[in-house]
Every structure is written in C-alpha cells, then in structure tokens.
C-alpha cells in the first residue's frame, strides 16, 4: 500500500471548536503554516449564541446593569477568587484578554456583533437573563440593557418549541435593574403544516426563503402596540447570515428584531460552526476531518483523515466530554496524548489529585448546586498553557492546551466557557507559532 501523503507544518491544532479555531487563526496571523484536525463541530457547534467571558462574582444580584463591572474587570475578580480557574492561572496576562476577544470576534464578524467591553444581557429559552461579552449579530438588538420601551417576546402560534411567557419571565426579573418591560405574544406564522411541526433548522430555512421574512415582519407589525421598542423571537432567524432574516423582518415590522438564546438543537451553534469553517478556509488553515488517535506529539507523524501530519508544535484544543478531549475508559484520561486528567479547585481542591483511577462518583456531590469536581476535570497547565504530567512537569515545551480540555472551570455552566476558549486559544496559537503574548 502506498504511504499516506505527508504534510509538514509549523502548528497542528487538534480540535475545531472555538479554542481550536482561535488558536489556528492566531497562529496563521503570526505567519505559521497551520493544519487543523477535527472530528466534529464539538460543543461550539451546539452552543446557544452567547460568548460568555466573565460575570463579576462579587456583584450583588440586584445591582443595576449600568453599575456592573466591565468584562475584563470581572475576569480579574474571578482570577483573584479562583486561582485554579484558567483566568487565575493566567492572571498576569489578563491585560491581553480583550485583545483575544477582539481578535476572535473580528475574525468571526460574519456572525458575531462587535463587543462593547461590558456584558450584554440576553434572554434564555428558560426564563433567565444571561450576561455575555459578545453575541451573534442576530441577538444584539435584544440586549436587555439597551432596549428602551416594551420588549415584545414572541413565540409561534401552534408550535410547542418555545414558551414566550417563560422567556419573558426572565425579563420581568431584571426589569428593576434597568431592563425593558416585556410583553409575550404569539405570532401566527405557520399556516402551512410543515412549519408547525418543524425543527428549529426547518424553521430557519423556511424564514430564509424569498418573501418569508418579509411576511413574518408584516405579521409582527399587525400586533405591535404603542411603546413597543424591539422584538425577540425564537432562535431560528436563518442559518446563513447572508439571508439577512432579522433585517428583512425588521424592515417590515418597523422595530429592531432579534433572537433569544438557543437550547438544543441550536441554529446559532450551526451558524457559528459554518462561520468558523468559512473563516479557516479564507485564512489558509488546512482542515483535515478525522480523529487524531494516540498521537505521539511534535516532530513525529500523526495520522488523521488518511494523511500523515508532522508539526513542530501542537495545540490540544480537543474539548471536554462533549468534544471528546477528555474521555472515560474506566478512568478519566485525555484522549490524544493520554495525559493525566486533573483539576485544581472545588471541594476536591488538592491539585495533586490525579483523577485517573478514581471512581467518577467520588468527584460529584449529591447537592446539584454544589461545585462538581467532575465537571471541572481537565488538563492541568502552567502559565504558558503547557500541559503538565502527574508530577507537575511540562509534558513537552512545544505542546500547548486551550479551551475546555483545560481543567479548573466548568465550561457549560460557569459563564466563562467561550471566554476561556478564546483567551487560551489565542495565547496557545501565538505561542505555538513562536510568538509570545
Ligand atoms: C449545549 C451547550 C451550550 C453551550 N452554550 C454556550 C453559550 O451560549 N455561550 C458560551 O460562552 N458557552 C457555551 N457553552 C460552552 C462552550 O460551548 C464551550 O466552553 C466551548 O465551545 C469550548 O470550546 P472548545 O473549542 O474548547 O471545545 P469544543 O467546541 O468541544 O471543540 C472540541 C473539538 O475537538 C475535536 N476533537 C476532540 N478530540 C479529537 C481528536 N482525537 N481528533 C480530532 N479532533 C478531536 C472535536 O471534534 C471538536 O472539533 C455551551 C456548551 C454546551 C455543551
């Protein structure tokens, strides 16, 4: 059999979620030849549309929006109170956090609105208001800190996927903090049956069709009342940003139109995944679909997608349990280089704990609100983002880790998921390309 064609490059990024994409693009910007290996969209492709970077842990829940700390200041406070969190480990470099956020949002500007430095407040499908340093363009007009007047929270008549009353209850709770008064309504968009039983992806495609967004805008306009300042709809306002679904609706309705955040399945997640794919291609990152199994590390061949890749540096951006970077095969272990999985905070705060060989049940607490060590399990890294072995030694000077594969934070729930992915991805990509922060 002919040997697999070999690719030689400066940086191999394992993982194509937000951390891997940011690392690859940062390394490309630094002039490196970059190959990315990824087996799936990862949790980034499931995410709800918010880019959560930091919320001030010291802030009182009833503090008005306008009195809240900016995003970087909030990250500094997290770093001060949680030394095992990636922001804590990188506290001396947090002055570059905003450079990283601006870099990633600029690279993905086809889907992401420019960040302002403070958190936007976005409604979730479950009746909460969620702070986010950045969000998809389709969501920016629903920022509760900015809407002046009544916010019209829409559901779809005859479709059980979203409850506008529940969504609006999130706005009711934060109205005293400076948010708008919400009004829940049902839009009767689905006189055609396939709409009423459609998945979010079906609905998004229906609204992209010529005339459909305009028709939806006219229906919205008919139920508007005096004082209505903006409308938020279920997160199905088109998959392709070029279809301009919110803009077309807004032009007919006469008020700004936005989406609220998404649950699964997530149209915004797919939108983000596609935007990442397009940006990587435009930037000249070579993407190989497939799994890197038991790679040996820098300067040695790694098999992926029928090719053999030899890279001077590696960035492990392989995610956590959803992405597949950390797996449980009797014990927790990192899936590509077989590194030990640890965590350095929470009730099991001993950083010397090696989770491998411990039963997963010993890493959880029955009180679901208590910190769960299992959910913060991941690689232990140093301040340069080098993974460490069980004895705390750097595994390899040219292997870096980024994103959810790094332990010490719970990316799905602690409000720093995308922020950690972007900051560590940016730092790791630059370091792997031979450029420090
Ligand atoms: C349902 C859900 C909703 C979320 N919503 C939000 C949100 O709205 N806002 C927010 O800030 N955060 C959100 N998060 C958290 C956020 O999505 C993650 O923190 C972030 O996406 C992590 O990015 P990542 O690149 O580190 O990992 P991932 O996005 O998981 O990417 C990991 C990548 O590694 C690849 N990979 C793994 N192993 C291998 C291998 N051996 N070979 C090749 N490729 C491999 C995977 O295929 C994937 O491409 C959400 C998480 C979930 C699960």
DSSP state string for 222-269: HH--TTEEEEEE-S-S-SSGGG-HHHHHHHHHSS-EEE----SS-HHH
From the CB of 86, is ligand 1 less than 6 Å away?
no
State yes or no: pLDDT of 281 exceeds 90: yes
Nearest-CA residue for atom 26 of ligand 1: 403
Q: Which atom of ligand 1 is nearest to the CA of 20?
A: 25
Interval 181-187 mean pLDDT = 96
Q: Which two tokens stand for residue 416?
A: 């720093």
Cβ(46) – ligand 1 distance below 6 Å: yes
Cβ(54) – ligand 1 distance below 6 Å: no
- pLDDT (average), residues 112-138: 97
pLDDT digits (tens, 9 = 90+) for 310-321: 999 999 999 999
Mutate to test the pocket of ligand 1, among 324, 337, 419 (most ligand atoms within 8 A of CB): 324
Assess whether the C-beta atom of 273 lies below 6 angstroms from ligand 1.
Answer: no
Instruction: Answer yes or no: is the C-beta of 326 below 6 A from any ligand 1 atom.
Output: no
CA of 222 to the centre of ligand 1 (A): 41
* 422 CA to centre of ligand 1 in angstroms: 11
> 136 pLDDT band (50/70/90 cuts)?
very high
| Confidence at residue 347, expressed as pLDDT on a 0 to 100 scale | 46
How many Å lie between the centroid of ligand 1 and the Cα of residue 42?
4
Extract long-range pairs of 6-9: CB within 8 Å, 24+ residues apart.
6/301, 6/307, 6/308, 6/309, 6/310, 7/35, 7/286, 7/307, 7/308, 7/309, 7/310, 8/310, 8/311, 9/33, 9/34, 9/35, 9/286, 9/309, 9/310, 9/311, 9/312
The CA distance from 331 to 28, in Å, is: 36
Ligand 1: centre distance to CA 180 (Å): 33
Nearest protein CA to atom 6 of ligand 1, as residue: 47
Q: Which atom of ligand 1 is nearest to the CA of 21?
A: 25
Tell me the best of 42, 328, 385 to mutate to test the pocket of ligand 1, counting ligand atoms within 8 Å of each CB and taking the most: 42
pLDDT bucket at 395, cuts 50 / 70 / 90:
very high
Q: Determine the pLDDT at residue 229.
A: 98
What is the CA(419)–ligand 1 centre distance, in A?
12
Q: What's the pLDDT at 1?
A: 59
Instruction: Using the atom order of ligand 1, give the atom closest to the CA of residue 405.
Output: 26
Regarding the beta carbon of 115 and ligand 1, being less than 6 Å apart is answered no
**Ligand 1 nearest atom to the CA of residue 404, by list position:** 26
> Ligand 1: does its nearest atom lie under 6 Å from the Cβ of 421?
yes
- Give residue limits of the domains in the chain: 6-47+270-432, 118-263
User: Regarding the domain delimited by 118-263, which CATH topology (the fold level of the hierarchy) does it fall under?
Assistant: Rossmann fold (3.40.50)
Is residue 121 over pLDDT 80? yes
The CB density around residue 261, as the number of other CB atoms within 10 Å, is: 27
Report whether residue 403 contacts ligand 1, using a CB cutoff of 6 Å.
yes
CATH number of 6-47+270-432: 3.50.50.60
Q: Does ligand 1 come within 6 angstroms of the Cβ of 48?
A: yes
Q: Is the pLDDT of residue 348 over 50?
A: no
What is the helix (H) or strand (E) element at residue 27, kind and residue range?
helix 18-29
Determine the residue of 271, 323, 407 to mutate for testing ligand 1's pocket, defined as the one with the most ligand atoms within 8 A of the Cβ atom: 323
When pLDDT is averaged across residues 90-94 and rounded to a whole number, the result is: 97
What residue's CA is closest to ligand 1, atom 16?
Answer: 417
pLDDT tens digit string along 48-90?
999 999 999 999 989 999 999 999 999 999 999 998 899 999 9
Cα–Cα distances in Å, from 297 out to 141, 251, 316, 329, 339?
A: 45, 53, 10, 21, 12
> CB-based burial of residue 173 (10 Å sphere; 0-12 exposed, 13-18 middle, 19+ buried)?
middle
pTM: 0.96
* CB-ligand 1 contact for 9 (6 Å cutoff): no
């Amino acid at each position: 059999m002919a040997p697999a064609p070999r690719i030689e490059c400066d940086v191999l990024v394992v993982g194509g979620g937000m951390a891997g994409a940011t690392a690859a693009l940062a390394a490309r910007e630094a002039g490196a030849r970059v190959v990315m290996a990824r087996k799936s969209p990862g949790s980034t492709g499931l995410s709800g549309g918010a880019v959560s970077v930091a919320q001030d842990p010291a802030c009182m829940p009833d503090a008005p929006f306008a009195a809240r700390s900016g995003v970087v200041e909030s990250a500094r406070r997290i770093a001060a109170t949680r030394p095992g969190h990636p922001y804590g480990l990188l506290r001396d470099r947090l002055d570059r956090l905003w450079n990283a956020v601006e870099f990633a949002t600029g690279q993905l500007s086809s889907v992401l609105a420019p960040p302002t430095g403070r958190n936007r407040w976005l409604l979730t499908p479950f009746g909460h208001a969620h702070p986010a340093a950045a969000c998809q363009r389709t969501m920016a007009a629903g920022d509760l800190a900015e809407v002046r007047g009544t916010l019209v929270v829409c559901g779809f008549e005859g479709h059980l996927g979203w409850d506008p009353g529940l969504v609006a209850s999130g706005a009711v709770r934060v109205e005293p903090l400076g948010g708008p008064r919400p009004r829940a309504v049902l839009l009767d968009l689905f006189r055609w049956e396939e709409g009423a039983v459609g998945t979010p992806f079906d609905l998004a495609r229906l609204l992209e069709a010529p005339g459909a967004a305009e028709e939806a805008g006219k229906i919205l306009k008919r139920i508007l009342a005096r004082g209505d300042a903006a409308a938020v709809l279920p997160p199905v306002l088109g998959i392709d940003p070029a279809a301009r679904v919110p803009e077309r609706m807004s032009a007919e309705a006469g008020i700004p139109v936005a989406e609220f955040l998404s649950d699964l399945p997530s149209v915004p997640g797919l939108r983000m995944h596609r935007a990442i794919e397009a940006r990587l291609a435009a930037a000249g990152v070579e993407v190989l679909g497939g799994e890197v199994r038991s790679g040996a590390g820098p300067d040695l061949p790694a098999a992926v997608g029928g090719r053999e890749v030899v890279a001077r540096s590696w960035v492990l951006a392989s995610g956590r349990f959803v992405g597949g970077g950390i797996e449980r095969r009797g014990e927790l272990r990192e899936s590509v280089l077989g590194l030990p999985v640890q965590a350095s905070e929470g009730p099991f705060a001993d950083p010397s704990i090696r989770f491998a060989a411990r039963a997963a049940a010993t890493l959880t607490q029955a009180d679901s609100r208590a910190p769960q060590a299992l959910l913060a399990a991941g690689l232990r890294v140093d301040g340069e983002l080098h993974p460490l072995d069980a004895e705390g030694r750097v595994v390899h000077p040219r292997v870096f880790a980024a994103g959810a594969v790094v332990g010490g934070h719970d990316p799905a729930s602690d409000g720093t998921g995308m922020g950690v992915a972007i900051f560590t991805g940016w730092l790791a990509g630059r370091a792997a390309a031979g450029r420090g922060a």
